[in-house]
A and B are shown apart, each in its own frame.
Chain A
Amino acid sequence: MKIYIKSILRGSFLAGMLLFISSCEDYLERTPEAVVSEELAFQNFINFQGYVEELYHCVPNFTLSNWVSSFNWGEDEIESTAGTFTTGYHFDRGNFWRWQVANGAGSNGFLDANSANTNRDHKNKGLWPLAWYGIRKANIGLENLSRLVDATDEERQLIEGQLLFFRAWFHFSLIQYFGGLPYVDQALPSDQQLTLARLNYHQSAERVAEDLERAAELLPINWDNTVAGRRTLGKNQQRINKIMALGYLGKNYLYAGSPLMNSESTGSRSYNTDYCKKAADTFGRLLQLVEGGETQYALLPFDRYLTNFHTMGQNWALPGGTEAIFRSPYYSANDSHWRISKQYKPTFMDEGDPTNFYPTANYVHANFGMANGLPLPVDVTQADPESGYDPHYPWKGRDPRFYAVIVYDGVKVVQGSIPDPNEAANRFANLHRGGSYREVVTGSLSGYANRKISPLTANKYDRAYDWGSSLHLNVPYMRLADIYLMYAEATLMGYNSVGATSATFAKTPVEAVNVIRARAGMVDVHQKFLGSVDIFLKELIRERAVELAFESHRFNDLRRWLLLTEAPYNIKTSYEFDRAGDFNADDPTQNRIINMSEEVIIERNYTSKHYWLPLKLADVMLYPEFNQNPGW
């Protein structure tokens, strides 16, 4: 027996020896050969700026968020019958869950996406994931600022300024839709339970303001004038500067001071004068710099007004010119060719998707008034002697921006030839009752069409969307005209007077509005509306609606003014009419119409819960302090 045991032991020993001899500890100890060390990222300006610049790709481009892009969710726009998948369609029906991918958004809309993509695909970007990714990235950067040794003070300021701006911008972008959220100011640890509580709106806005204030101090007006910025001389338009920081600082204050946000935090459904004053002073600082000629910004002249939104034949230049302050980067200017440039006309005109977007009649009627500064009557089928509005010639004598932005019945859409005589009738926008542009599936439901974002010639005959035209569409996040109007609103409500000025800028609210109107060749605000703060405020609201129409502002404006659920802001209408008399092809304003009626297309049955978007269930089910918005 001993022998057996011996031999068993010997066998085991030999087998064991084999293993020991052949073992080498570090077979799996592979330092990944392509390892990039964290230190490298922060060691000098060039690397750190490389680290920072991914943040620019975290800003979604709402203009190009899918094949068709729905980004006007107020009462301003209606999609064609086919567009039942769009965010706008579902928001109209009260389904605000629809902003979420988990609730069917897919890649429609810019608010959500499957993950935080910083690549160059417009369609994969969503604000929610990208904002949180960007905030984390900014925080890691800020925590590692001390590692930036090999840099000048100016360089360090540029880095810190950008990081602070983005941290604030992402938070601000979220709280405007969702209300107060935690303000994440550190790279959160991965091995701890995260239970940050939601702040209220004002608390969040204070934190945003803190960062933006500091960013404005650190950043230059124009990178071209800095030593570091000279590396990219002439190519710094998109880099974050003092003006952007001030613009968003002001906007943040104005939002905090707006009725919705004020009621969320204080319960008062009026403007918060403190925040409005801060907003006014901030915008004032900005405008003072602009009007003092210290910046690269200026309003575009009216003949180039639409280059704020699209350029053609300019080597794909990003729209915006000197007026745009903050825009998302673009990756392929021709992306708009695939659908967005074709989403404003019936599909038979532009070979696009059957989903198209049209201005609602109620919006056009309520806001785009007469050239003399007076609005249309409430009942547009009736004449208005005061303004000179003639319901049979409703297109006569209107605000110049009406002609620049709105396609109305009879406008000559096709400029070139139409080979097929059967199709010749489509040269003109036949938006009257039964007209070809009112085609049931893809045509206008409202009797109007939009030429602001995409030009008339983006049709299958003129083919402005073809490569050779270099058509580039992009709606800016923030442009100078918006600053003037926000300045006017903030000053009016902060200093509670039509004639007041802010502490930092010498224009009154009325003067600020008139700057914008003058640019459009529009008369000054009518005397009639200067009587009181409230009356002027209504006119200011109308002015915003005209100047900033279809630029994605209306939904948030209605919300912050607490008007979203109120009549008449809760209906969308169409304008039905027949043509009468001879058709004037050369001057469509001379065309006479009869049998007019304004019909309700949809009434938006909203309740107070619709002032905030619902948060994701995945977030609100984690712990009680990150609670869902009321009513959802």
Chain B
Amino acid sequence: MDKNVLRQLIMLSKYVAYGFAVQLFFTTVLMAHTGNAQNNGIEEITVSINAKNEDLKSVFRKLEQQSQLNFTFNSSVIKVNNIRVDLVEQDKSLSDVLKKIADQTQLKFVRINQNIHVSKREAVEETVKEVSKVADFREITGVVIDAREQLPLPGVSVVLKGTTRGVVTDLDGKFRIDAESGDVLVFSFIGFASREILIDNQTVIDITLQEDTQSLEEVVVIGYAEQRRETVVGSVVQTKGETLQRTGGVSNVGQALTGALPGLITTASVGTPGEEMPQIVIRGQNSWNGNSPLILVDGVERPEFFAQMDIGSVESISVLKDASATAVFGSRGANGVIIVTTKRGLNGKAEISANFSSTMKSVSKIPGKMDSYDAIGVRNRAIERELSLVPNSWNEMIPQDMRLKYRFPANLEEMERYPNVNWQDVVFKDYAMAYNANVSVRGGTDFVKYFSSIDYQHEGDLFNQFETGRGYQAGFNFNRINFRSNLDFQLTPSTKLGVNLGGTHGVRQAPWNYAFPESYWNSAYRSPPDVFLPRYSDGTYGTYIPDDYAVTNSLLNLAISGTNQITSTRLSTNFVLEQDLGMFLKGLNFRGTLAVDNSFQENNRGINDLYNNPNTKWINPLTGESIYRNILDSNTRFDFVEAITWNHAGGTVNNGESQRRLFYQMQMNYAGSIEGIHNYSVMGLLSRQEDAIGSIIPTYREDWVFRGTYDYKNKYMVEYNGAYNGSEKFSAENRFAFFSSGGLGWNISEEGFMKNQSFVDVLKLRASYGEVGDDNVGGRFLFMDEWLFGNTSQLGVIGQSGENSPYTWFRQNAVGNPNVQWETVYKSNLGAEFRFLRGLIHGSVDYFKDNRVDILMTSGRSVPSYFGTNAPAANLGRVVTTGYELMIGLNRTLDNGIRLWGDFAMTHAIDQVINRDDPLLRPDYQKQAGYQLGQYRSHATAGYYNTWDELYASPQHNVNDGAKLPGNYYISDFNGDGVVDDFDSAPYGYSGVPQNTYNTNLGIEWKGLSLFLQFYGVNNVTRDVGLGSLSNGLNLVYEEGTYWSKDNPNADSPLPRWRSQPSPFNYGPRYLFDGSYLRLKNTEIAYNLPSEKVRSMGLSNMRIYINGNNLLLWTKMPDDRESNFGGPSGQGAYPTVRRINLGLNVTF
């Protein structure tokens, strides 16, 4: 049954796609339609109406239907929804009816041609008037001026109301249109309040448009709806696509979000082309089961699309943080919600805009290493120092003559025998390029509105390219094409259908065998400078024969890596049907959403060059002897040129990445108002989602949601949300749970006593509290035991892989816990928003607390080993996260036209584990409880042992005590039991998630020129970067500052050891770094070309910009990574990058 439905849906979506393609051709042509000329006077038109306490809007609609005339009015002046009339008229003239309405409402009606213009009536005035019935076209001209800057506004759409006939102002803001008296001209422009001008007999209309900051911010996307900013009681922040586009050349939305929204914390760690998505948490961490927020793209959970979205198609991104905002997402919203809304069509002429940019990327920062000579110096010192422990090491001293050869080789032979390699230069080039091109078209008619875009992104590779003689170029890169088309059809006056199609097609090139990705960059981090040359003059590659496992030749690895084209294609479709059910009940509407997503991945296309190792060699520096591996011709030992032995591979479907999703949602909204004073709305919805990856049994999810809101005169707001969530993880009894939340708001600035205060524009207080359920934990049917059937034992005694037993295993794979239930987060939020002095100062403050109880534990439980298997999941934990967010902004336009603006935002979030099933006998300072999640712990140091006396007087180490030497850290006996052991490890530093993040934007604009700077920083964070020098008997020494010696007791670091092994805690917190940083995250200089120039090129706007990302970094960390995901610290990762981006944006 389900499969049938699914198949039909897929077929349906195919048809729609075809239909869409056809439609696309037509929608770009605006089809003007002239209404049937209505020649009868309003006295001659008879109408009947039966309206009891009905609002004007529906009265007008009824009259329009009977009269074929249109009512026009400015809805911001005349609130037709709120004005109510009583009318019972049978076969009366329209004129009379209008008079009756005028009597009840203080309105006047002017009929001009087929329009009846409605406006407010001044004292004594004719209530109903018929101006003209005669079509009398004449040319109207005028200029549209930006009210604030007093500059002409180009691109303003000027449309005859009720028609699709219109023009756009030119670069000087001028327009020219044919109209007749009684027509209404609608002037509209994004970001400005639109104005309607009734044409009487004027021929010149010069008007000013007011910037409507309110209108941009006014509507905030919240869960399943939009709300006016002023009535939102939840903690919601929102940013626009345009803002995100300032980020210099980054290719994914996640990176662009850094610093854009208070409360959202990003952590970046890798720079692999196509995989640069940072980790995102909202308001810090609150659970050990992951803190990833729910990411919705156009209303459907689509994190994988989000990761590959182009910034150009983003209209807005909302971040929902507190209970009243997130509760409606039920179980998925506990970690906050990110709602991405894509751009949609707008009424008006097609606007085509194109953007091209090219980006230069360079390695940001990787750890510094000493050259051969210096490293050998440290080695010799280390050997000398530990002679008492390992006398044998004396044989490993490198004599000074030999050491000098590394720095000053006399000839090529010596250079090869005594290498000195700067691996960073070998592995990475100075810069790589990235390119982006984006074209979009946007427009619409009354029937259909459209937005289409296509975006191409190329990310180049930082790895050096060189001639391998293999006939292919290995390395990384990424190419992506995204397309999107969003259509809105007004099927009937009350029915709207939205169709979104989004797709992304990415081809990522990586080495063929990507199982050990670190081997390609490892040399830059970990290869000693003196072991071998990456490639010798005879064409052989270097390898470290004595320990080829410990030393990587990344150049060699890359040269023979083959290539793997990994193609990911994702298609997302949304069908949204909105039906106004005003015919049954005014204010009622239905909204149904159906989403079908599919992702496919093909990999293993490319060149399989596995196991074709070329000739490698190592020159033993002691003897000068060359030792070869993989000699091709062992007789001549001369033939270093390999035949091409690699294979082309045709690609296979990567089942594990195939993903499909079916989501549907039915939503009823009911909203209304009593006399414009009591505004209320009710929403109920049911959504279901089915997800499957690869060949798993699909996962299912079901949420029922209810929301009611009420406000009194926009002054006092109350909201209640209820969510009834189901999860397959829990037994039938615990499967569904009900979670409620609510909020209160008070718009102080709407109060009468504040109205007169001129300096306060907006002042609002809001509070929310509620519970949100969460089942975000690994494992599926947690409530039941899971048994598996499969595999056999190898019980044979012959053959390479032996013989399998014929008996197939049965095994209990997981122990279930029938009592597991929802974990619940109690979220509270207190907030204030303000804007003072006509927008000069604006900002907000939020205080929040997330109290998460019954946290599921699936691992790390305090269950003895002898239980014999993983303990089942149980609700055992509790974490409380508290914090605040602060945002303050300034915005000032000077008299000379220079606009200055800036804002500062900070987020402080600190979590504390209250309970995490700590073992009873563990000392408190080692318990999880009482500390942050991921709190680092370390043995503490009290300086160095500077003398043997100090060393002997120091506490004993429980292991390898005999290997202590002066010049090592004095490790404190934290618990005072006389011996340093595991129990002396105590909390140190912070966790890996910063407690504070800071963001500052500064901008200046003047005429067409703008400059923008963004600083982003974090502090109270710790990161481990385990870069041990001289390990494995290799001359690898990192730049660690000064080393301890008798003469330098205040050194930066103890001297590393050569062969002796002190206790594992001997280095104390040496490799735990303060993870704070401050970076110049983004900066941009942009210039809008003067209008004359642009016009001469036939464009309406042209903007040139240069921006940079991650230009400057201040930190104590040895590399530029904010976290160790994407590669352990000691092995490094594909380095993060710095970007400089040059771009051009044109609009036609």
A residues near B, CB below 8 A? Answer: 1, 3-4, 7-8, 10-12, 14-16, 18-19, 22-23, 27-30, 32-38, 40-41, 46-47, 49-54, 56-57, 67, 81-82, 84, 89-90, 93-95, 97-98, 103-104, 115-116, 118-120, 128-129, 132-137, 139-140, 181-182, 184, 187-188, 190-191, 194, 196, 231-232, 235-239, 315-318, 320, 329-334, 347-348, 351, 353-354, 419, 422, 440-442, 445, 470, 605, 616-624, 626
B964 smallest CB distance to A (angstroms):
12
Total A-B contacts with CB atoms under 8 angstroms apart: 280
B390 to chain A: closest residue by CB: A81
- Write out the residue numbers on chain A whose beta carbons fall within 8 Å of the beta carbon of B791: 54, 118-119
Query: Are B686 and A440 in contact (CB-based, < 8 A)?
Result: no
In the complex, B867 has a CB within 8 A of chain A: yes
Beyond the given A329-B793, A621-B922, please list 7 additional residue pairs across the A-B interface where CB-CB is below 8 A.
A8-B682, A15-B706, A27-B726, A90-B1061, A188-B867, A348-B546, A618-B865
Ordered nearest first, which 8 A-B pairs have the shortest CB separation?
A: A136-B868, A11-B670, A41-B810, A15-B684, A15-B668, A95-B959, A621-B919, A318-B797
B808 adjacent to chain A (CB < 8 Å): yes
Interface centre among A51, A115, A605 (most CB of B within 10 A): A51
Contact A235 B796 (CB under 8 A): yes
8 A-B residue pairs with Cβ-Cβ distance under 8 Å, sorted by A, are A11-B668, A18-B668, A36-B789, A51-B809, A93-B1061, A316-B798, A329-B793, A353-B547
The reply to whether the CB of B975 lies closer than 8 angstroms to some CB of chain A is no
Chain B residues near A231 (CB-CB < 8 A): 806
Given contacts A15-B668, A38-B787, A238-B795, contact A132 B815 (CB under 8 A): no
Are A94 and B959 also in contact (CB < 8 A) when A11-B585, A135-B868, A331-B794 are? yes
Q: Which residues of the partner chain B approach A119 to less than 8 Å between Cβ atoms? A: 791
A82 CA / B547 CA spacing, docked (Å): 10
A6 to chain B, nearest CB (A): 10
- Given A28-B735, A56-B793, A440-B395; A11-B682 close (CB under 8 Å): yes
Residues of chain A contacted by B22 (CB below 8 angstroms): none
B920 adjacent to A237 (CB under 8 Å): no
Residues in B with CB closer than 8 Å to A441 are 396, 546, 1033
Question: How many B residues have CB within 8 A of the partner chain?
Answer: 103
| A contact residues around B728 at 8 Å (CB) | 28, 30
Given the complex of chains A and B, what is the CA–CA distance between A441 and B685 in angstroms? 71
Q: Are B700 and A28 in contact (CB under 8 A)?
A: yes
Give the chain A neighbours of B896 by CB distance below 8 A: none
Q: How far is the CB of B374 from chain A (nearest CB, A)?
A: 22
Give the CA-CA distance A33 to B634 in the complex, in Å.
Answer: 58
In the complex, B688 has a CB within 8 A of chain A? yes
B807-A53 in contact (CB<8A) = yes
A56's partner among B634, B702, B795 (CB-CB below 8 A) is B795
Nearest chain A residue, comparing its CB with the CB of B735: A28
Tell whether, in the assembled complex, residue A4 and residue B959 are in contact, meaning their CB atoms are under 8 Å apart: no
The complex places the Cα of A229 from the Cα of B952 at a distance, in Å, of: 66
CB-defined contacts of B1059 to chain A, threshold 8 Å: 81, 84
CA distance in complex: A116, B871 (Å): 13
Whether A329 and B794, one on each chain, are in contact in the complex, defined by CB atoms closer than 8 angstroms, is yes
Partner of B674, one of A4, A129, A181: A4
Task: Tell me how far the C-beta of B1148 lies from the nearest C-beta in chain A, rounded to whole angstroms.
Answer: 45
Residue from the list A32, A182, A419 in contact with B781, Cβ < 8 A: A32
* Residues in B neighbouring A54, C-beta threshold 8 A: 791, 793, 809, 811
Q: Is B792 an interface residue (CB 8 A)?
A: yes
Which residue of the partner chain, among B588, B812, B921, contacts A14 with CB atoms under 8 Å?
Answer: B588
B815 contact set on A, CB distance < 8 A: 190
Given the known A-B contacts A23-B704, A136-B867, A623-B920, are A67 and B797 also in contact in the complex, defined by CB atoms under 8 Å?
A: no
Which chain B residue lies CB-closest to A139? Answer: B868
Which of B684, B732, B780, B796 sits near A16, CB closer than 8 Å? B684
In contact, B634 and A419 (Cβ under 8 angstroms): yes
For B805, the chain A residues whose CB sits under 8 A away are 53, 232, 235
Whether B921 and A621, one on each chain, are in contact in the complex, defined by CB atoms closer than 8 angstroms, is: yes
A104 to chain B, nearest CB (A): 6
Complex alpha-carbon distance, A618 and B701, angstroms: 37
Whole-angstrom CA separation of A52 from B781 in the bound complex: 25
Q: Closest residue of chain A to B982, judged by CB?
A: A617
A50 and B871 contact, CB distance less than 8 A: no
Contact B684 A19 (CB under 8 A): yes
- By beta carbon, the residue of chain B nearest A35 is B787
Q: Which residue of B lies closest to A135 (CB)?
A: B868
For residues 686 through 739 of chain B, which have their beta carbon under 8 Å from a beta carbon of chain A? 686, 688, 697, 700-702, 704, 706, 726-728, 732, 735
Assembled-state Cα–Cα distance A497/B433 (Å): 86
Distance of A40 Cα from B627 Cα, bound (Å): 60
In the assembly, what is the distance between CA of A316 and CA of B796, in Å?
Answer: 11
Q: Is A331 within 8 A of B801, CB to CB?
A: yes
B611 proximal to A (CB < 8 A): no
Residues of B730-774 at the interface with A, using a CB-CB cut-off of 8 Å, are: 732, 735
Q: A28-B726, A41-B787 are in contact. Are A136 and B666 (CB under 8 A)?
A: no
Residues of A within 8 A of B549 (CB): 67, 353
Provide the residues of chain B in CB contact with A49, threshold 8 Å.
807
Interface bits B1018-1047 vs A (CB < 8 Å: 1, else 0): 000000000000001100000000000000
Q: Complex Cα distance A622/B1064, Å?
A: 24
CB nearest to B550 among chain A residues: A354
**Taking CB as reference atom, which chain A residue is nearest B669?**
A15
Q: Is the CB of A196 within 8 A of B697?
A: no
B700's contact among A27, A118, A330, by CB below 8 Å, is which? Answer: A27
A18 close to B797 (CB less than 8 A)? no
Q: Decide if B585 touches A30 in the complex (CB within 8 Å).
A: no
Contact status B920-A621, CB under 8 Å: yes
- Check A235/B702 contact, CB under 8 A, given A11-B670, A36-B789: no
Known interface pairs A12-B682, A28-B700, A28-B727. Does A137 touch B797 (Cβ–Cβ under 8 Å)?
no
Q: Is B962 an interface residue (CB 8 A)?
A: yes
B682:A22 contact, CB within 8 angstroms: no
Report A303 CB to chain B, min CB distance, Å: 21
B35 to chain A, nearest CB (A): 34
Question: B400 to chain A: which residues have CB within 8 Å?
Answer: none
Chain A residues with Cβ under 8 A from B800's Cβ?
Answer: 316, 332-334, 470
Contact A22 B686 (CB under 8 A): yes
Q: A23-B686, A51-B809, A140-B812 are in contact. Are A194 and B700 (CB under 8 A)?
A: no
A510 smallest CB distance to B (angstroms): 34
Docked CA distance A579–B432 (Å):
62
Residue B44 at the chain A interface, CB threshold 8 Å? no
Q: Find chain A residues with CB under 8 A from B809 CB.
A: 50-51, 53-54
Residues from chain B with a CB closer than 8 A to the CB of A115 are: 870
Considering the chains assembled together, what is the distance between the CA atoms of A128 and B792 in angstroms? 22
Q: CB-CB < 8 A to A3: which residues of B? A: 53
Given A14-B585, A440-B396: A616 in contact with B727 (beta carbons within 8 A): no
Interface code B660-680, partner A: CB below 8 Å = 1, 0 otherwise?
000000101110101000101
B669 cross-chain contacts in A, Cβ below 8 A = 15
Residues in B782-826 with C-beta less than 8 Å from chain A: 785, 787-789, 791-803, 805-812, 815, 817, 819
A8 to B922, CA, bound (A): 58
Q: Whole-angstrom distance between the alpha carbons of A164 and B149 in the complex?
A: 90
Report the bound CA distance from A196 to B867 in whole Å.
10
Contact across chains for B865 and A128 when beta carbons are under 8 A apart = yes
Q: Which residues of A contact B634 (CB under 8 A)?
A: 419
| Residue of B683, B688, B811 contacting most chain A CB atoms (<10 Å) | B811
Q: Which of B584, B684, B793, B866 contacts A135 (CB 8 A)?
A: B866
B147 is an interface residue with CB less than 8 A from chain A? no
Closest to A329 in B: B794
Cβ-closest chain B residue relative to A95: B959
| CB-based nearest B residue for A321 | B797
Determine if B148 is an interface residue (Cβ-Cβ < 8 Å). Answer: no
The reply on B398 being an interface residue by CB < 8 A is no
Smallest CB separation, B1071 vs chain A (Å): 15
Q: Using CB atoms, name the residue of chain B closest to A133.
A: B868
Q: Given known contacts A132-B865, A136-B867, is B697 in contact with A93 (CB within 8 Å)? A: no
Bound-state CA distance A476–B245 (Å) is: 67
B859 to chain A, nearest CB (A): 10
